[in-house]
Amino acid sequence: MAITGEAKRDTGEAYLDIVWKQFKKNRFALGALWALVPVALIALLAPLLASDQPLIYFDGDQILFPWLLALFNPTERVDFAFNMAMLAFAPWMILAWWLNGRWRRRHVPGRTRALRITGLLVLLVVGTILLFSIPAVRPSNPHSHRAFVEEEFRDPDAWGIYTLIPYGPRDQERGSAYQPPLYRKDASDRQRSSEWFPHLLGTDDIGRDVLARMIYGTRISLTIGFLAVGIYLSIGIIVGALAGYFGGLTDMVISRIIEVILLFPSFFLILTLVAMLGPSIYIIMVVIGLTGWPGIARLIRGEVLKQRGNDYVAAARALGGSHLRVLFRHILPNALAPALVAAPFGVASAIVVEAGLSLLGFGVRLPTPTWGILLRLGSGNYNYWWLIVVPSVAIFFTVTVFNLIGSGLRDAMDPRLRM
Amino acid sequence: MWIYVFRRLVVMIPTLFGVTVVAFCIMQMAPGDPLEAQLDASGTIGETSMTREAYLIMRRDLKLDRPLLLNFRRFHDYTDSIRQAVFFRGQSTDQIQQQLAELAAASDLPENAARLSFLRSLSIANFDQMLDDPQSHRRLSTMITIGVQLYLEDLGIHGVRAAAAVLRDPQTSDQKRIGAIRAMRLMVVEPFQTSFRRDADPANEPHVMKTWQLWWQRAEPDFPQLNDTRRERLAERFQAMLDLESRSEILDMLERFDRSDMRFFVERLLSDSPLEEKVLAAAALNLYVPNPLRLDVPIDATDEMIQQAAENWLAHYELNRELYEPTLDRKLGYLFLDTQYAHMVWRLITFQFGRSATRTREPVGPRIWSAVLVSAPLMIMAQLIIYLVAVPLGILCAVNRSNSIDRSVSLALFVLYSIPPFVAGMMFLLFFCYGIFFNWFPSLGLHSAGSEDMGWGAWLLDYLWHAFLPVVCLSLFSLAAMAMYSRSSMLEVIGQDYVRTARAKGLSETSVILKHGLRNALIPIITLFAGFLPGMLGGSVLIEVIFGIPGMGRLSFDSILSRDFPTLMALIYINAIVVMVSILLTDLLYVVADPRISFHGRGQR
């Protein structure tokens, strides 16, 4: 594989193309990449899957759209970002399909097309988020404290059309606490119109639907995973590159710092910091980000050290490139592979760390739906097995997917790194 | 080789220094003053006094009343602010409330202006608005009481000199004397020593003697003269106690005296007897006379109480004069060494971790040691399992490269690698422990009830039965990683020329794999040893919490929960040392295992 890679590089084929080609050969990794699609879709389309707000509601006089208004006014900022991404998603699909056809007819190469279309997605999502962050533009939700499911149940004139699962992640019903999967309230006990629908994965300590919480928890797990890794990759790459390139005193100081931080067991350090700073998913992200960079920095430093002696570096310097230009434009692209390979593993471990923190009670505040919080509820009493099994399976599945992608990437990028 | 080891050990010093800096930063990051937060919320000290007590203990033990890095306080003159603090400290909240009304009415009098500027320096939120509004004076007076208390606690021994001057001044009013005494009580943690510490330290002698001397001055009339027979009998028993070795026996004997015998002990203590006799006499006095000296007074104290307490405090001041009125060179020394950071580093360097900030105030050292004794066997068992299972599995896969055995084992390993240990632990508990599915293993702890009475065989079996699941959980992840690693390293070795040569020589396949292959494949595996250790220490937090094992992980979790900083610092520090030493050991093992690697030039890495 190494030989074919080298040969192709000589013919001028882009490195990313080779990586993709190698990656595709690994059936497990490719499968994992496909398995990521439903996970991402669940996170993105969570409100379409589960919500206690009716899509359309008729209260006898007028027709309301509570679900849409609720989209703009969620309790959690993460939910807001995902909701906006969901709104931007459909226009992007149409635009992407149209532009792709247009560009293909103009013989724009596939990689450029993919890059442009991804860029368009980022642009659209960020644009939507920014646009609706302005209070004047964002539609307010006059029904934020209205319980449609109860209203509809009591009022024979009212009707509503609900999402697939008519339960929200924070929607509690103390009467049906700790009920096993497939539990459905007796018709005589019902208080709300949504209760005809069974709790497919049971309920938690105050009767919230576990499935709905799992669906919304996906958003938080993925956010923590990606953002935390994003933070520590950026720090690690920059710091490691500086240490490797400049050497001398810079290298010595940075290496000592790396050494010191690596001396702390990472989970213990994160636990301590989170306990001191308070429970919040943002703090967890930042803390994981701030404690994870030394590993990446060490990898990058080693790679940059290796690259620094090559002729192309001397050539770039001779052509008048400044140190920073040579470092970030010439050396770094050649030294990134190990850091990128570490990224999917990092996402997996960040998700695990968040679950562990929540399990210990240091994670997020309770109404926030995360997988770890469900585990914590389950750890209190092992009779409620679904509270353990369901999040465990989800964590295991996600971690496996990211690990598979990571190992596929590792094999594809650098066969020497293969384990 | 020794030069190499020495060089590595020297490099460790700056690293450890860095560890102390990080630990210090973590300590600083802890939310400031739990009391100040309460002050803003309710303005009163409520039932949460337990947290306050823990906090104060931590503060004093960790010398948090000192500045962070440079201590300029010895150069400051605190006379003015101490005068004000003493003024408010000597009044009840009702009296302060009246004062506030006067202050608000005539704020431009010079005396009142000084008072106001002192109160403003306490940084009470919305002070001026509250001062203008008579309705909130009651609340404000409570806040001032607490604020003054915090100020004095924060100032610590630096304010003693000024307070003593107030106390010594014959012009001072009774109210201010009360204030000064109460202020001293806050600023000095343990003014008098009533007995010797466990190791009889001659340096403590003047302090202990002074304590009892002061007490005796006042208490002597209460104790009748002893007649000669009684005195002889006491001397006999005293001699007998001196010959005893065990502490508990001495304590037993001590309890058989009477309070009226104290005259004898005081005479022994205050005469020129040898140190060990004094130690014993002080112990006896300490047992029969709790709180010998009046050091604190209520707001409405009588003249006599004030007089006594003031005398005691002035005696304390005289005894420790060089601490409170240091010479210039001492001041300069304090500038750098009497700081939070310097004290912390000193505690860590000397391994004197002090007492923990929990309710029981256990010493940190023994606490950690007992946790180590619980955790270490589990860790060792886990490491053994990892090496004994993972390496053979890796070899098995490598030898059967790409056939069905390799595929299925690799897949199983990958699955194991993806199960977070605590998820595995909870699953095990769910399926094997709680009797919902199976009831094969115990769910909590490492021993059954009554395991102390078992024979050692039964005890060991019981222990292994309890330890089985935790050890499995601890080892799963590392086991998978290690097996995958040894597989790849073995694969690399198998492709080498010398393995082909060995085969060509006609050696059996077993011999080729085990003798030629394994030895070389082991080298990178050795390095992983150091990498897993910190991971296991950290990962064991969750496992130990889930399985209810009182080990290192549980201890660190508990100390984080209760903000027990002395324990936390000690854990971080010890852990750092253990990891550094294990990294050094692996590097040494590396060289031992692979003759191609030498020590030359490895120190500079």
Q: Does the pLDDT at position B508 exceed 60?
A: yes
Which chain B residues are Cβ-neighbours of A283 within 8 angstroms? none
More confident call, A221 vs A146: A221
Q: pLDDT at position A418, please?
A: 47
Sign, CA dihedral B575-B382-A272-B419, equals positive
Mean pLDDT across B159-180: 81
Q: What is the mean pLDDT of chain B?
A: 79
pLDDT tens figures, B318-346: 888 877 887 778 777 777 777 878 888 88
Residue A139 pLDDT exceeds 60: yes
Nearest-by-CA chain A residue for B573: A264
Distance (Å, whole) CA B26 – CA B56: 18
Please answer yes or no on whether B576 and A263 come within 8 Å at the CB atom: yes
pLDDT at B55: 61
User: With the C-alpha atoms ordered B464, B469, B470, B474, is the resulting torsion angle positive or negative?
Assistant: positive
Share of chain B above pLDDT 90, in %: 1
The nearest alpha carbon in chain A to B486 belongs to A419
Terminal CA-to-CA distance of chain A, rounded, Å? 15
The answer to whether residue A145 scores a pLDDT higher than 70 is yes
pLDDT surpasses 60 at B36: no
- Candidates B19, B22, B379, B423, partner chain A, best to mutate (most A CBs within 10 A): B423
Supply the pLDDT for residue A241.
Answer: 93
Average pLDDT over residues B24-45: 53
Per-residue pLDDT of A260-275, as tens digits, reads: 888 887 888 888 888 8
> CA nearest A402 in B: which residue?
B418
Mean predicted confidence (pLDDT) in B276-305: 78
For chain A, the C-alpha Rg in angstroms (whole number) is 25
| Chain B interface disruption, residue of A255, A260, A273, A404, most B CBs within 10 A | A260
Six token digits for residue A86: 């969901």
Q: CB-based contact (8 Å) between B444 and chain A? A: no
- Best CA proximity match to A390, nearest among A176, A214, A207: A214
Select the highest-mean-pLDDT range: A232-246, A269-283, A350-364, B32-46.
Answer: A232-246
Residues of B in contact with A265 (CB under 8 A): 534-535, 537-539, 575
Q: Report chain A's mean pLDDT, rounded to a whole number.
A: 86
Distances (CA, A) of B509 to B403, B485, B515: 18, 22, 10
Four-residue CA torsion sign, A90, A92, A95, A101: negative
Q: Which residue has the higher pLDDT, A10 or A356?
A: A356
- Whether B42 has a pLDDT exceeding 50, the answer reads no
pLDDT digits (tens, 9 = 90+) for B134-161: 788 888 888 888 888 878 877 777 888 8
More reliable by pLDDT, B410 or A2 = B410
Rounded distance between C-alpha atoms, residue A23 and residue A1, angstroms = 11
Higher pLDDT, B160 or A347: A347
| Nearest CA-CA partner of A287 in A305, A264, A271, A308 | A271
CB of A360 less than 8 A from some CB of B: yes
Stretch B263-290: mean pLDDT = 78
Mean pLDDT comparison of B183-187, B201-205, B377-381, B531-535, highest-scoring range: B377-381
Judged by a CB distance cut-off of 8 A, whether residue A264 touches chain B is yes
Location of structure tokens 């202020």: B183
**B538–A269 CB contact, under 8 Å:** yes
Contact status of A352 with chain B (Cβ, < 8 Å): yes
Question: B548 CB near a chain A CB, below 8 Å?
Answer: no
pLDDT in tens, B351-391: 888 777 666 667 888 888 888 888 888 888 888 888 889 88
3-class DSSP state of A264 = coil
- A387 versus A196: which is more confidently predicted? A387
Average confidence (pLDDT) over B175-204: 76
pLDDT tens, residue by residue, B83-137: 888 888 888 878 888 888 887 777 777 778 888 888 888 777 777 777 778 788 8
Nearest CB neighbour to A264, from listed B418, B541, B572: B572
Who wins on pLDDT, A39 or B224? Answer: A39
Q: In chain A, pLDDT over 90 holds for what percent of residues?
A: 37
Read off the tokens for B108.
């431009």
**Other beta carbons within 10 Å of B214:** 20
Return d(Cα A256, Cα B11) in angstroms, integer: 10
- pLDDT for B145 equals 83
Q: Is A271 in Cβ contact with B415 (below 8 Å)?
A: no
User: How many CB atoms are located within 10 Å of the residue A183 CB?
Assistant: 17
Residue A266, min C-alpha distance to chain B (Å):
7
Q: Once rounded to an integer, what is the mean pLDDT over residues A7-29?
A: 71
- The pLDDT of residue A216 is 92
A343 vs A409: CA distance, rounded Å: 10
Q: What is the pLDDT of residue A10?
A: 43
